[in-house]
Structures are given as C-alpha cells and as structure tokens.
Amino acid sequence: MSTAISIEHVSKVYRLGTIQGATLGDDLVRWWAKVRHKPDPQLIVGPHARRTGSQFWALDDVSFDVRGGEVLGLVGRNGAGKSTLLKILSQVTAPSSGQITFRGRIASLLEVGTGFHPDLTGRENIFLNGAILGMTKAEIRRKLDEIVAFSECADFIDTPVKRYSSGMYVRLAFAVAAHLEPEILIVDEVLAVGDAQFQDKCLGKMQAVSRGGRTVLFVSHNMGAVRRLCSRVVLLDGGRVSSIGEPGHVIEAYLGGGAQSAGLWRRESPIPQSTGIYFSEISLTNNRGAITNTLASTEPFNINLSVEVPTHARPAQISIRITNQQGIAVFTTANTDVDKRLLSVPKGRHWYSVTIPGDFLGPGRYTTLVGATIPGVVSFDVVEALAFTIEDMGSHATALRDGRMGIVTPLLHWTGGAGDNRGVRQTDSLAVAFEALLAT
C-alpha cells in the first residue's frame, strides 16, 4: 500500500507571553543600541533570561506515515497536539522544523462552513465555500445537484443561510466538503453536530471515501467511533506520538493514561495544624487499578481519598459530589450512607475508596468535590480537585444515537419483552370478568 502522507520529525514551537519585538519602537531602540555597540536595552536579564523557559512545544518530533486508502484515527487529550498537527497539515500554519509530504488535495473539515456568508443564499454559499476549499466553479456546478440533495436543504437553497437552522447550516457545509473528493480527508469532530441520521450519513460518506481508495484522517474523542471506523490509530500525548497501531491496543493505552494524565491530586501547601481533618491525596483509578482521569463509560472506576486526622479523633462525614460540565450536581455520595450516622475518625491517616459503576455516567467531563464535614456544624476541608472525562465506549446510551435526555445514563434491568404477554392476559381477564359482570 502506498504512503499518502509522510510526516517526518515535525515540531512546532510557540513562544509564550510577549512576542519578540512586538512594536516598531522596540526594534528601533534595539537596532540603535546595536549600531552604537551598546547592549540590548530590552534584553531580559536575571532569572527570566532563559528564552527556552517561555517556549511551548505543541509538537515535538512527530513522525508517522498515513497509508493510502486507510482511515487513520488520531486521538489524544486536549492539548496533546492534534489541532496543531491538523493546522500544519491543512497549511494554515507552518511547522517549526520537519517536513510533511503528501500527494493530492487535503480537504479538512476542521471547521465546517468556513467562509459562509449569512446574507448569501444556500446556493451562493455552496459556490463560495467550494471555491474556498479549492474547487473550481465548473467543478461545483457539476456537483451542485448532488450537494444540494446530500444537504437535504433543497427547499431552502435560495434562502439566505442566516435564516437556516443550525442543523441545516451544518448539513449544507458538510455536504460541500464531502463532495470535494479530496485524496485526503481530515474529519475533526464534525460528527458531533447534526442529528443521528445525518451523522450516520456522514460516517457512511467517510467510509465511502476511504473505500474509493482515498485516505481519511479521523480525529475524535468518541472512542466507539474510532474503534468502529479506523484501521489504525495514532495516540498523541504532550506533542509526541506515544502509541501507534491497531485501534484496540491504542485506545487501551489512551484510556490507561500515561504518566502525565492528571488522575491524581496531592496537597502541596501545608495545612494549619488546627485543621481537624484534611485530605492529603485524591486519585481516580480505572478498573485495572491505573491512575487516570480518562475513563471508559462502560467500566466502573474508583475515587480514592487519603484523609489525615492530625490531632485527635473526630466525628465526620466524608462525601464526594460529582458535577457535570453544565454545573449540575449529578449525585453526592458519603461514607455515612450505609450506617446513616456520623462515625468517628481516629487520629492518623485513613484511606477511603468508592466505586462508581460503569454504564452510569454518560460521556462528558465531570469534576469532583470532596468534603470532610459535620453536616450543618463544621466544614473541616473541602477540595474541588479532580476533573475527569468519561469516554464514549459505544455504550448502550449512545449506540443508537437516539439523543436521549437525562444527566445520567444508567443501564437498567428490563423484564418482559416480545413473547411475554403476562401483563396483557391480566388485563384481558379483568375485562372478561367485567363484561361477565355486566352481562348478568
């Protein structure tokens, strides 16, 4: 199989803070000093002099090949370098070093609907957007009917897009990009928008594209989709390729978390001795015992607390509250739940752990809040420390993409079903009895 994209030792460095010589004045002063052989008056001396300290390596010596005709998954946490790599690939920005070689046209769905003008009609925007993505007018004209049909916006094609619903807008935008027929297609989370049917259609189009011998680079946080669609997956972590290979293996590595994943919180600042109880360590572990803040939706995980009681035993309730991204408290659980009364915590270090079941929290980001309190009386210590992500593993809640509502997605036990007509018979016999009663 031929190589579609060859990425060789690509790095990208961003300077943090001020950009060197941000004003003409600064540079003129610097130049004048240089002319007179004086030291640079704007040179930062002292502890902040090291330039390297203010550099950020978004990508650090990344190398891998994308084979022609494959669907390659690109996964990684936020800030791992995925977006930077895509920006370099789509030539929005240049790498700091290294080289990328590819054959043909790369179409990126980094952001669908780029360049859409609200005052122009759907048809006009197809032309504009198509040309921005690199098509010629003739090419667009040839595919116009197909694009309009795919977008399901035929009735509104001569209406300004500012009157479109957001769903229509996205459909139209995706339709244009999908018909670009690029040799390499970059798909980045666009599938998160639009309704379930349209998402299916997009996934179908993506598969058709790769079946047609074209290459797809699929970037997603949806591990279920990555597992289903990709033939190989690259895992980026801290700007480096940390794993590459078949999906199951790489997804495992991703969810297992590396050393950098923040599934652990430790108290760093010393705490006053007068504090009755405080938390010294909080961690999240998956069901294989690894510390991570990226958890699979289908698997249980543990929240572990280390509690210090420095002076003498105290009664206390140790509680954990889980809050979702919308700021809604999903649930609160406490060590007092079983006994339904406060227990005394003796002097020393104690360890608590609670298991959150799998198939319970839906995919998304959550934060934990832990507290040691005597409810309504005293609050010893409250720590809002760990944020974690529940990754969609193709759980029951998202398998049919039915867009179900609710803040938790528990997998509940259903009884009855096809062939079981016990309930029906009861009703029937009741009706029969009623009719018999009437007949008399």
- For binding to another protein (CB under 8 A), which residues are involved? 14, 19, 21-25, 27, 68-69, 87-106, 108, 110-111, 114-115, 117, 119-120, 124, 127-128, 131-137, 183, 211-214
CB of 143 or CB of 298, closer to another protein? 143
Tell me if 389 sits within 8 A of 364, measured CB to CB.
Answer: yes
CB of 123 to another protein, least distance (A): 12
Nearer to another protein, 103 or 267 (CB): 103
Instruction: Give the shortest CB-209-to-another protein separation in angstroms.
Output: 11
Q: How far is the CB of 98 from another protein (least distance, A)?
A: 7
Which residue number, 74 or 303, has a Cβ lying nearer to another protein? 74
Helix (H) or strand (E) holding 63: strand 55-67
Q: Which of 40, 48, 81, 78 is nearest to 63 (CA)?
A: 81
Token output for 342? 């406060």
For another protein, which is the closer residue by CB, 207 or 306?
207
Give the separation between CA 199 and CA 217, rounded to whole angstroms.
Answer: 17
- Of how many residues is the chain composed? 440
Q: Are strands 343-345 and 106-109 parallel, antiparallel or unpaired?
A: unpaired
Beta carbon nearer to another protein, 211 or 365:
211
Instruction: Measure the CA–CA gap between 102 and 392, rounded to whole angstroms.
Output: 32
SS (H, E, C) 127-154: HHHHHHCCCCHHHHHHHHHHHHHHHCCH
Burial class (CB in 10 A: 0-12, 13-18, 19+), 79: middle
Q: How far is the CB of 408 from another protein (least distance, A)?
A: 36
Nearer to another protein, 132 or 408 (CB): 132
Q: How far apart are the C-alpha atoms of 326 and 93, rounded to whole Å? A: 33
- To another protein, the closest distance from the beta carbon of 180 in angstroms equals 10
Task: Give the nearest distance from C-beta 20 to another protein in angstroms.
Answer: 9
DSSP string, 233-301: EEEEETTEEEEEESHHHHHHHHHH--TT---EEE--S---TT-SSEEEEEEEEETTS-B-SEEETTS-E
333-357 residues labelled b (16+ CB within 10 A) or e (exposed): ebbbeeeeebeebeeeeeebebebe
Please state the closest distance from residue 80 (CB atom) to another protein, in A: 18
CB of 405 to another protein, least distance (A): 32
Cα–Cα distance measured from residue 37 to residue 100, given in angstroms and rounded to the nearest whole number? 42
> What's the token pair of residue 390?
């529940």
3-state secondary structure of 429: helix
In terms of CB distance, is 90 or 304 closer to another protein?
Answer: 90
The helix (H) or strand (E) run that includes residue 321 is strand 314-324
Nearer to another protein, 19 or 438 (CB): 19
- Shortest gap between Cβ of 246 and another protein (angstroms)? 20
| Complex with another protein: residue 133 or 386, whichever CB lies closer | 133
